[in-house]
Amino acid sequence: MMKNFHYVSSCAVLLLLLISCLFDKRLQAQEVEDEREFDYIEGSEKGPENWGNLKKEWRACNEGDMQSPVDLTSTRVQVIPELGKLHRQYWASSAFIKNRGHDIAVCIN
Residues 109 and 95: their CA atoms lie apart, in Å, by 6
Judge whether 66 lies within some domain. Answer: no
Total of domains in the chain: 1
Judge whether 11 lies within some domain. Answer: yes
Residues 27 and 37: their CA atoms lie apart, in Å, by 18
In b/e form, how buried is each residue of 52-85, taking b as 16+ CB within 10 angstroms? bebeeebeebeeeebeebeeeeeeeeeeeeeeee
Mean pLDDT of the chain: 77
Judge whether 27 lies within some domain. Answer: yes
Confidence grade of residue 54 (pLDDT, cut at 50, 70, 90):
very high
Convert the pLDDT of each residue in 62-75 to its tens digit. 887 556 556 666 67
Convert the pLDDT of each residue in 9-45 to its tens digit. 777 777 777 777 666 655 555 545 556 788 888 899 9
**Three-state DSSP class for residue 97:** strand
Judge whether 29 lies within some domain. Answer: yes
Judge whether 23 lies within some domain. Answer: yes
Q: Active-site residue among 42, 92, 102, 109? A: 102
Judge whether 43 lies within some domain. Answer: no
Catalytic status, residue 6: no
Judge whether 17 lies within some domain. Answer: yes
Expressed as residue numbers, the domain containing 20 is 1-35
